[in-house]
Every structure is written in structure tokens, then in C-alpha cells.
Homo-oligomer: A and B are copies of this chain.
Amino acid sequence: MNKVATFGEIMLRLSTERHLRFIQAKSFAASYGGGEFNVAVSLANYGIKTDFITKVPENDIGACAVKEMRKLKVGLSNIVYGGDRLGIYYLETGAGTRGSKVIYDRANSALATTKSGDFDWNDILKDATWFHWSGITPAISDNAAEQCLLAVQTAHKLGLKISCDLNYRSKLWKYGKAPHEVMPKLLEYSHIILGDIDTAYLMLGENKVNPNYEDEKSLPKLYERIFNACPNLQLIATTLRYSISASHQRIGGLLFNGKKIYNAAVKEVTPVVDRVGSGDAFMGGLIYGLLKYDKDFQKALDFAVAACCLKHTISGDYNLATIEEIEKMIQGDASGKVSR
């Protein structure tokens, strides 16, 4: 049986309600999320066994985060307790031409201050078949990057499938190292990468090329350079997102397996209830699709794109759409009829 281990941070998310600006808010909706955690929730929701590896403080806020994980059936047997605080991000929900705003307050979080020995990776990963990480963890702190490298190396040694969402956040990477100093040795072990070409190039220390995703024939050559830099890479996927407004998105996706470009039809997403975490929903859908459909990459990609679309209709960081809802959407039913 498959078991997907993911490593990353879980944060308290404090968001304004009803499209209020920060300055108007007298309360914040409190929920929990984070890129890698959101992937774990997607997978748990699809019935996949998961293990979310993180560090949370030993106080009531940390306990709340853990209770949320348990509720969502995310595996929590490898959580480390300690550190001073749970990271926070504030979210102001935009609308129309006004985009959402995120303020990070995650410095010195429990995970950012993780110490050597916090995680016994050989033991943690011994039962897992898949390891997922993202570019956020090595961007938090030197310590987090170090644990991420140990995790990836151990996963490689134990023969796990390894996936990575590049997830570049320019507001992170503040601890003195640039992405290209850290990421290449991490990506070296990954079999599956989610990210757009220029992000991958940035992380590999190459120049921006502004790829034209509409010109499908031009892409294999660009993707191949990533394959060249990552010896274990088997496939790379890219979310295509056309932002008409904060309330209206068009979502498609590409997948290149080193030989062929797979392309998923672009779908209209309007109105957007909550856009945060939609990339994680794509990633979660892609892992599930690859587990389920194996080499049928078109099916895996379609599942990822539909999961991403449905996430936009759901409040909070993580995707609560069911397999049935996603499959109905893949089959072309986006009519949103009342089910009764």
C-alpha cells in the first residue's frame, strides 16, 4: 500500500472575511495550512495513507494545528514537538481587480528553528513509498534546508518516489542563501517536479527565458534543460494560470515526461472563493493521479487540473473536493447543478 510522507510547515492562517481589507477587520477567521500540509490533506481526502512531518510548539496553538491534522486524517505519528511558536500568515481576501495580500510572520517558527536530531529520517521514512517536499521549506532557514536535504537523501536511499513543488516565494529566502545555492542538490534526487520553466531555471541558476506555453513545440527543449540538471527527473508538470481578475481565473496544465507534452484543457474558474492553496491542490491531484493511473499521464494531469479548479471554490488552504466531484468535472460537467 502506498504511503506518502510530506515534510513542511503548518501555519496558523488568519484571514479577513467578506473581502474586508486588513484595516477594516475586527476579527480573523482562523484556520491552518501550508503548501506541503495542503498536499497531505488532498491525499488523505482521496483515501491515500499519509504522514505529515513537521515541528510544532508545545502550546495550545500547536495543539490546535495537530487536532486539525487528525480531523483530516493526515498521519501525525512523526510530528516533533518543540520550538517557540507556530508560524502565521495573514490573508486579505481580494475581489475583482484587487488582489489578495499575504503577510508572512513565520520567522522563528518551530520548524524554522528545527535542530539537528529533531528528525530521525531513517525511522520516519521506513514505511513510506513516496516523499513530497517543496521549495518553501529550504527557503525558511538554514536549519530547515538542512533537514530537507537529509530527508531527500534518505528517501532516495530508501528508494522512495520523490516529488517537489518548486513553490518560489520571493518574500522568503531571507537567511543569506539564494535558491540556486540550495535547490540544485535537493532537486537532484527528485523524480517529479511541479513548477513553471522560469522558476526551475531560477532555482537551477539559469537565466529567465519567458517561455511561450501556447507554442507547445517550443517547450520540450526548454524542459530538457531541467531534465539535464536533475539526473533522477522523470516528469515535470506546470500549472497554467491565466488571471483575468482576483475573482476569475483560467486554469490549465502541462506535463512533460521527457518525451511528450501532455496538455489539459483550460477551464474557467469564476467566481473564486479562495485561491490560496490551489497550486497545492494541483500537486495533490497529480500525485494521486500518478498513483492511480500509473503511466496514463493524461489522466493524471486531468485529475490535477480539475482538482486545482475545484479548490478555488472552497474556503481555506486545502482542497476538500472529493474524487467523485473531480471526476464529474473531468467528464465535462461544470454546471454546478444542485445535488438533491
Please list the residues of chain A having a beta carbon within 8 angstroms of any beta carbon in chain B.
Answer: 14, 17-31, 59-61, 63-64, 67-68, 70-73, 84-85, 88, 90, 92, 94-105, 107-108, 169, 171, 243-248, 267-273, 275-276, 309-310, 312-316, 320-321, 325, 329, 334-340
Contact = CB atoms under 8 A, between A and B. Distances in A.
A315 B24 contact: yes
Number of copies: 6
Nearest to A97: B334
Given A335-B244, A340-B169, A313 B96 contact: yes
A315 B23 contact: no
A177 to B, nearest CB: 18
B313 A98 contact: yes
A61 B321 CA distance: 16
By Cβ-Cβ distance, the 7 closest A-B pairs, closest first, are A246-B336, A102-B340, A71-B71, A243-B335, A98-B313, A22-B60, A99-B336
A53 to B, nearest CB: 19
A26 B16 CA distance: 12
A334 B249 CA distance: 12
A64 B316 CA distance: 17
Contacts of A27: 17, 27-30
Given A60-B92, A271-B271, A336-B98, A26 B23 contact: no
Given A105-B85, A107-B85, A338 B275 contact: yes
A335 B99 contact: yes
B336 A245 contact: yes
Given A269-B96, A270-B247, A171 B107 contact: no
20 contacts: A14-B14, A14-B28, A19-B313, A19-B314, A21-B60, A21-B315, A23-B67, A61-B90, A61-B105, A94-B313, A96-B273, A98-B313, A98-B325, A99-B337, A99-B339, A100-B338, A101-B340, A169-B340, A243-B337, A247-B336
B71 A321 contact: no
Nearest to A339: B101
